[in-house]
Amino acid sequence: MRGVVFLGERQLELREFPDPTPGPGEVVVAMKASGMCGSDLHPYRAAGNAAQALGLGGSGGPVIGGHEPCGVVAAVGPGVSESDAKVGQRVMVHHYWGCGQCKHCRVGWSQLCKKGIVVYGMTGHGGHAPFMKVPVRTLVPMPEQISFEEGAAISCGTGTAYGALKRLDVSGRDTLAVFGQGPVGLSATQLGTAMGARVIAVDIAAERRNLAKEFGAETVIDPRAVDPVAALREMTHGEGVEAAIDCTGNPEARVAAVRSACTWGRVCFVGEGNTTTFDISQDMIRKQLTIVASWTFSAVGQEECARFIAERRIPLSKLLTHRFKLEEATAAYRLFDTQTTGKGVFVF
Ligand SMILES: [Zn+2]
Ligand SMILES: [Zn+2]
């Protein structure tokens, strides 16, 4: 089979790999959809080893990219029972694997394992190929109403937004500012609205602001046209927003998220990379601010996110604006790198 390998410096290639066969406790998933996530742009753009730069470890050897895998079980290895996985079963993959035994792994947070982790698509073979081999315990069940493309989105970008909104404990009492309307920010807008919050979406791109309005944002802000902190204060009687989330990783946006929060407000950082400087006294201590960080979600959280979307009939499919064949990977990532669209997904 052929899989997408990120070479860095905005180059990728479709490289030949042997078809995987499952070992003990493993399954092979036949891919139906494999999403493109903002963090794929790190290995795509990187000059060096992006996985190491993100603190994810790995040998730096070539791996198949893609960490939003969704498909059907194609083969099961020795020791995998019928109740673990059946051939033909529709599944998402929690795209991390750890020791499987520590306190983090046992509750589904394998990415927090201290014994070394595999991040599929970054340090282990991911979903940008027709087949993917994973431990059966990485599989996450999918509600019937969730399509493979939606399942792929939930497997990182949308699930990450859900996890961050939970960390922020967002409710209908909140005005929520979402900085950045890429695939994670747009999901935060859509899910935050479904959780009852009044959502104000911030993005420099008109196309993404328009999508944000479609996804339920009450108001949108172009931070290049107006000062977002002043605008958000004005919309909240001078108080600031109860909750803010940064999905950009951009230092200016992070500072704006912190400054736009009200006294006793909550802020969550999701966008990765960079360093950011705050005035701790003025921006945080004087406001009794709570700042949290959120790294994706647990395997259990991923299932919960899918159920939330299915039960509330949230039209997540609208997020998926671009569909590609794997052979179009070069053009697909070039578009993702330069354009401000919704979300792209490879379909099989
Ligand atoms: Zn562990
Ligand atoms: Zn991701």
Using the mean position of ligand 1's atoms as its centre, give its distance from the Cα of residue 304 in Å. 22
Q: What integer is the mean pLDDT of 193-216?
A: 97
Q: What is the pLDDT of residue 46?
A: 87
Name the band, by pLDDT with cuts 50, 70 and 90, for residue 333. Answer: very high
Using the mean position of ligand 2's atoms as its centre, give its distance from the Cα of residue 223 in Å. 25
Largest CA distance in the chain: 62
Name the band, by pLDDT with cuts 50, 70 and 90, for residue 215. Answer: very high
Give the ligand whose atoms come closest to the C-alpha of residue 103.
1
The whole-model pTM stands at 0.96
Give the ligand whose atoms come closest to the C-alpha of residue 154.
2
Using the mean position of ligand 1's atoms as its centre, give its distance from the Cα of residue 57 in Å. 15
Using the mean position of ligand 2's atoms as its centre, give its distance from the Cα of residue 213 in Å. 23
Give the ligand whose atoms come closest to the C-alpha of residue 98.
1
Using the mean position of ligand 1's atoms as its centre, give its distance from the Cα of residue 12 in Å. 32
Residue from 195, 127, 122 nearest 155 by CA: 127
- Three-state DSSP state, 282: helix
Name the band, by pLDDT with cuts 50, 70 and 90, for residue 60. Answer: low
Q: What is the pLDDT of residue 53?
A: 66
Using the mean position of ligand 2's atoms as its centre, give its distance from the Cα of residue 38 in Å. 6
Hunting for tokens 């790995």 — which residue is that?
A: 58
From CA 261, how far away is CA 58, in angstroms rounded? 37
Using the mean position of ligand 2's atoms as its centre, give its distance from the Cα of residue 162 in Å. 13
Contact between 12 and 329 under an 8 Å Cβ cutoff? The reply is: yes
pLDDT exceeds 70 at position 8: yes
- What's the first-to-final CA gap in the chain, in angstroms? 13
pLDDT exceeds 80 at position 19: yes
Name the band, by pLDDT with cuts 50, 70 and 90, for residue 52. Answer: low
Of the chain, the percentage scoring pLDDT greater than 90 comes to 93
pLDDT exceeds 90 at position 341: no
- Give the CA radius of gyration of the chain: 20
DSSP 152-213: HHHTTHHHHHHHHHHHTT--TT-EEEEE--SHHHHHHHHHHHHTT-EEEEE-S-HHHHHHHH
Give the ligand whose atoms come closest to the C-alpha of residue 54.
2
Using the mean position of ligand 2's atoms as its centre, give its distance from the Cα of residue 67 in Å. 6
Q: What is the pLDDT of residue 48?
A: 73
